[in-house]
Structure 1
C-alpha cells in the first residue's frame, strides 16, 4: 500500500487551507494516511498550545495583566479527577465539535462564504474559552493572546473536520485535551 505522507507537503496543504478555507474533503485517503495526518496535526497543535501557553505564563509573570484563576484550576479542587477527565476529554470535545465544526457541512453549500463561516467558527470557539477566566478589563484586553491556543486548535480541528469528517475532529480534540490532562491525572497539584 502506497502512503505518501510528507510533513512539508502537509504544512503546505494546511497553509493553503488557512489562507483560503474551502470545503475540500479527502474521503478516499487510506486509514494509514489519515492516521499520519491526524498524528501530525495533534503534534503540531500540542507544540503550538505549549508555546502559546508559555507566552501567556510570561505575560502573567511580568505583570502585564491581572492574572485570574483559570476555571480548570478551580474545578481541580472542587471535583474528582475522573469527573474533570470525562468533562474535558469526552464531553467537551463531543459538544464543542458538534457545535463549532458540525455546521461547516451546511456552510459548504455557500462556496464563496465558506471562508467566513470557517473563521467565524474558529473565532467563536476561541472566544468561548474566555469563560475559563474571571472576566475583567485586563483579561478582555489580552483576550486574543489568552485564547490563542484555542484559536490555533480551532483551525487544526476545522481543517481535519473538512478533510476527513466530524469524527476525526472530535477524536483530535479529545486526544489534544487528553494529553494535556495527563499530568493532572497522575500528579497532585494541590
Structure 2
C-alpha cells in the first residue's frame, strides 16, 4: 500500500488535534515490539524535513508578525544573544530533554510519576555534567523498565485506569503542549507586560508542540526528538548564515 502524502498527513494532523487520542498509530507502521517501535522511527528524514519546512513557513509568516507586534507594543526583549547562539544546546540537548519531559509519558503514563520530576530537574539544571548523568540515568531506567515489562505477564501489568486516561487524554495532550509553550516565555524579558499578552509570544512553540505531540503519539518518541532537532536547527543556521554575510545585524 502507498504511504500517505504530505497533504494527507497535514489533514490528518488537523483532525487529530480536534480530538487527540492514543490511537490509531501511524498507517503502515506495522506490528511488533511496541517499545522498539517507539525508538525506531518509521517517518523518513525527508518527511520530517517537509514538516519542519511547513512549520518554519507558518511560524515566519503567521505567528512571527504577531510576536513582533507584541514585542514592539510591550517592550519585551529576547534573552538570546545572536553573537553567542547556544547551537549544541538548541539542536541536541533541548530536543532530547524537552521531548522526554513533555511527550514521552503521553504513551507511557505509568512512568510519569518519577520521569517528569527527574526531567524537570534535568531541564532546570541545563547541559551540565550532573544533569547529563541524570539524563543518562533516566534513559537507563526507561530501558530497564520496558525490558522488564516485555518479559513479564503483559496482562498482569495492564493499568486499570487506562479507560480513564483515554477519556481525559485530549486535556492531557493539549495541557502538555501549553506547558511546553509556556516554558519558552523564559526566552523573553517580559518587562511587566500584561499577562494576557504573554501567550502571544509563544504561539510558534504552541503550534510546533502540537505537531511534535502528534508525531510522538502517532509514530514514536524518536520521531518527535529528531523532528525537534531539525526544527531547532533551521532558525539557528539561518541566523548564523546571515551574520556571516551581514555582521552589522548583530548590532541592531
Same fold, TM-score > 0.5, yes or no: yes
Q: Is the 1:14–1:159 Cα contact (8 Å) retained in structure 2?
A: yes
Aligned mate of 2:213, from 154, 158, 166: 158
Residue aligning to 2:166:
111
Following superposition, the deviation at residue 11 of structure 1 comes to 2.2
Higher relative contact order (CA 8 A, sep 6+): 2
Q: Distance in 2 between matches of 1:139 and 1:154?
A: 24
1:62-111 Cα deviation digits (max 9, x unpaired):
x4x222221113xx44x4x5xx1001111111111110111101349411
Partner in structure 2 of residue 129 of structure 1: 184
| Structure having the higher Rg | 2
Q: Deviations over 1:127-163 (max 9, x none)?
A: 1111111133326331121000000000001011111
**In structure 2, how many angstroms separate the alpha carbons of the residues matched to 1:166 and 1:139?**
36
Number of the residue aligned with 1:144: 199
Map Cα deviations across residues 160-184 of structure 1 (whole Å, 9 max, x no partner). 1111111110111110000110023
Report the equivalent of 2:48. 38
Distance 1:139 1:128 in 2: 17
- Residue 159 of structure 2 corresponds to none
Q: Name which of structure 1's ranges 106-115 and 22-31 shifts more when overlaid on structure 2.
A: 22-31
How many residues align? The count is: 180
Unaligned runs of 5+ in 1: none
> In 1, are the aligned partners of 2:76 and 2:193 still within 8 Å (CA)?
no
Matched, 1:10 2:19: no
- Kept after mapping to 2: 8 A contact 1:5/1:33: no
Confirm whether residue 68 of structure 1 aligns to residue 70 of structure 2: no
State the 1:45 CA deviation: 1.4
Whole-angstrom distance in 2 between the partners of 1:5 and 1:37: 10
Q: Counterparts of 2:174 and 2:233 in 1: how far apart (Å)?
A: 25
